[in-house]
Structure 1
Amino acid sequence: MKMRQQFKPVKWSVWASLLLLVGGGLTACRENAINDLSPADSPVYITNYDRSVNFSQYKTFSLPDSVVIESNDAYSTGQTDISSRFVTNVANSLTAKGFKRVTRGDSADLGVAIIRVNNQYTGVASNPYSYYSSYWGGGYGGLGGYGYSPYYPSYYTYQVTDQYWEIQIVDLKNRPATGTGTDQQQLNVIYDATIRGTDITDQQAVDTAITAIFNQSPYLKATE
């Protein structure tokens, strides 16, 4: 399923982490678009880019062989068969768009990161039924007059897991002239693609996702 977003340029601190680690209007197909989808249809591809950018000004890109693993604002790198397939397919797709991949350590116009997001959040919420714990054991004899008083705590904890893949491209050509750590954090993200829905667990799913993403990004090309 294709989705596009109104994009605003952002500056993301993960790129500072990436450089240290590797050395180098929203519309949907329909209301409740991801409900009741089959496994084949459940992936949602969201693409997003800076409308003020002319991508034909960029000629080269840098793409590490490893992917960034983001887990609750902590960053590391990893390499598996699935992540390697992502790297290969993204590199081939950008090359087909007219961009040239440079070797590690060489300067490039664009920086490309493939990110595996694996966040887990724990929260606390109030229990709306805690009020009734006193009622059931109150003056009416409890449940059936047996004096039974169930316990409802006033709060409970829950955990949410958020897993998806993301591709981000930053502008290295127009980055600040100085190379301090602070300036590394000021790289502008000019393109973003997110793959949500059913998790990607095989190489065929990677092929399908990358093909869909670049098919709905015709503006992403080195020459016009």
Structure 2
Amino acid sequence: MKKLLFFACLTFALASCEKDPDMSELDTDLTVYTDYDSSADFGSYKTYFLPDSILEAGGHKATYWKDENAMKIIKAVESQMNERGYTRLTDPEDKDNADLGIQLSYVDESYQVVSGGYFGGWWDYGYWGPWWGGWYYPYPVTYTYSTNTLVMEMVDLTGDTDGKNIPVLWYANASGAQYSGMYNLQLLVNSVQQAFKQSEYIQCNK
């Protein structure tokens, strides 16, 4: 398996990422990771099936994201696949006739951090004088942050698996800090574009 890792650009007006990302901006990007089966002949596949919903993972029961925002992410994947020469089958009854299957999954998680007590500080010992060695918080400091992850998986539907697992040909993972509203949605759409940009081998030979 071959691996590739890049940071998806946030600046919407730019057509491509900077070679060396601005380190001050990395905390607002989604990190895009891609991996694929190097033995796969992506040019031999012609059609694909992409569901009209995104699996929301992480809960006790599977749920599906189906609103207009989910559709924008799905359309971004469809656009990339169509540009590379593949044909989407949209009728669920034709799913078994597709060469490729694409599954999209989304996970959002929140973390709470509570800190307090002695803190040595970032300066050398004695910065404020020879008697001073650090400081402490006499109260707890609490903060919460959220992350989100979009996972894209491409599987081969042409083989006879005989009840075995379907082989995954391509995997993409985009994760990072979660923001609200259209800004976060744009980050997810950008990550789809970046994942395919990193995967030039996904190309139909017609």
> Which category describes the TM-score, using the shorter chain as reference length?
0.5 to 0.7
Is 1:171 aligned to residue 156 of structure 2? yes
The whole-number CA distance in structure 2 between the counterparts of 1:75 and 1:119 is 15
1:221 alignment counterpart = 203
Match of 1:47 among 31, 34, 45: 34
- Shift in Å, 1:197: 1.8
**Number of equivalenced pairs:** 171
The whole-number CA distance in structure 2 between the counterparts of 1:42 and 1:104 is 35
2:186 alignment counterpart = 204
- Shift in Å, 1:187: 1.2
The whole-number CA distance in structure 2 between the counterparts of 1:26 and 1:187 is 23
Task: Sort the Cα spacing of 1:73 and 1:187 in 2 relative to 1 into closer, same or farther, 3 A.
Answer: farther
Task: Sort the Cα spacing of 1:112 and 1:162 in 2 relative to 1 into closer, same or farther, 3 A.
Answer: same
Contact 2:147 2:178 (C-alpha < 8 Å) held by counterparts: no
Contact 2:147 2:177 (C-alpha < 8 Å) held by counterparts: no
Match of 2:168 among 189, 193, 214: 189
- Shift in Å, 1:27: 5.6
Which residue identity does 1:188 align to in structure 2?
P
Unaligned runs of 5+ in 1: 1-5, 8-24, 123-128, 130-158
Task: Tell me how large the CA RMSD over aligned residues is.
Answer: 3.9
1:83 alignment counterpart = 70
The whole-number CA distance in structure 1 between the counterparts of 2:6 and 2:51 is 32
Q: TM-score, normalised by structure 2?
A: 0.64
Is 1:95 aligned to residue 77 of structure 2? no
Task: Sort the Cα spacing of 1:160 and 1:207 in 2 relative to 1 into closer, same or farther, 3 A.
Answer: closer
Match of 2:50 among 63, 66, 75: 63
Percent of paired sites with the same residue: 22
The whole-number CA distance in structure 2 between the counterparts of 1:79 and 1:116 is 12
Which residue identity does 2:100 align to in structure 1?
L
Larger Rg: 1
The whole-number CA distance in structure 2 between the counterparts of 1:220 and 1:73 is 34
Q: Which one has the bigger strand percentage? A: 2
Residue correspondence of structure 1 range 89-128 to structure 2 within 5 A:
89-102=76-89, 103-106=91-94, 107=96, 108-119=98-109
- Shift in Å, 1:52: 1.1
Which residue identity does 1:55 align to in structure 2?
F
The whole-number CA distance in structure 1 between the counterparts of 2:5 and 2:81 is 25
Deviation readout 1:86-128 (Å, 9 max, x if unpaired): 1111112101111111121212111111111135689xxxxxx
Contact 1:72 1:119 (C-alpha < 8 Å) held by counterparts: no
Contact 2:29 2:187 (C-alpha < 8 Å) held by counterparts: no
